[in-house]
Amino acid sequence: MSLRIDLHTHTVCSDGTLSPTELVERAHAAAVRVLALTDHDATDGLAEATRAASARGLTLIPGIEVSVTWQRQTVHIVGLGIDAANESMQHGLARLREFRGWRAQEIDRRLRKKNIRGAFEHVRANVKGAILSRTHFARFLVSQGYVNDMGQAFKQYLARGKAAHVPGQWATLEEAVSWINGAGGTAVIAHPARYKLTSGKLRRLLNEFKECGGRAIEVVSGSHAPQENAQFARIAGEHGLLGSLGSDYHGPENPWVDLGRLPALPDGCTPVWHEWGLEQQTN
């Protein structure tokens, strides 16, 4: 089904492979009318994406995906409708990017122990944006033939508990939500099914998130199975959270998710965009 809204995407300004203009062109071709760019811990792509969107009649929602450490686990909080010029948010994001720089050297050190050399130099030379991501290291491992695909790079080296994994020291949940709210945005828990939380721990996360001022959860995600969309629609309703919808698109080489291909938000779920005055455009 062709859907007209996508509120979670990436470009080369974080770990995606398209430029902001290319992303907008592809969204336009897929009949997406409302697009949020939500790069990890960086807002550098927003100005170009906004220009490209306005030239093509798309609505560009300025966004961010903030990395958070909650209960020693990484959780991603998307911010939608942010003012990218907000100073305290930018100050916080700069700290996360600084951690990314340190972590990249640490990943390199751990790969060297496995006799894999040159990772940091390769990543540095190839990265186009402001952040160094595990995705860039995964691409290095694939390109040098250490693994066959991205999934294997994570499974063998980069995922939690593996040889080159470095525990995150990201923002607290409270910081991330306050940066987003302070910048005039709406905070959204990204791809909630990915965290594999027990129902008790999920309830704790949702309650803390709401106490901090969080308002929405991604009900429909490119990384969810269909039954997980239904499950999180119910959970959003039970917790009084708005529902969001996003592909988490990183580029055309990701075969399992494309722009404009997500199912609609389940009935009964209040869309995060219901206050944005977009209803006529999105149906």
Q: What is the dihedral of CA 26, 32, 35, 39, to 10 degrees?
A: -40
> Is 250 one of the binding residues for ligand AMP (CB under 6 A)?
yes
Compute the least distance from the CB of residue 15 to ligand AMP, in Å. Answer: 5
Compute the least distance from the CB of residue 245 to ligand AMP, in Å. Answer: 18
Q: Which of residues 10-49 bind ligand AMP (CB under 6 A)?
A: 15, 40
DSSP characters over 230-272: HHHHHHHHHHTPEEEEE--B--TT-TT--TT-PPPPPTTPPBG
Q: What is the dihedral of CA 135, 138, 139, 145, to 10 degrees?
A: 180
> Is 100 one of the binding residues for Mn ion (CB under 5 A)?
no
CA–CA distance, 271 with 180 (Å, rounded to integer): 18
The two tokens of residue 29 are 């071709």
Tell me, residue by residue from 76 to 95, as one string, x for binding to Mn ion by CB under 5 A and - for no binding: x-------------------
Q: Which of residues 15-34 bind Mn ion (CB under 5 A)?
A: 15
> Is 134 one of the binding residues for Mn ion (CB under 5 A)?
no
The two tokens of residue 107 are 């990943």
Indicate which single residue of 17, 19, 135, 244 sits in contact with ligand AMP (rule: CB under 6 A): 135
State how beta strands 216-221 and 186-189 pair: parallel
Our CB check for Mn ion shows the closer of 228 and 281 to be 228
Interaction site with Mn ion (CB under 5 A): 15, 65, 76, 190, 248
Interaction site with ligand AMP (CB under 6 A): 15, 40, 67, 133-135, 150-151, 154, 250
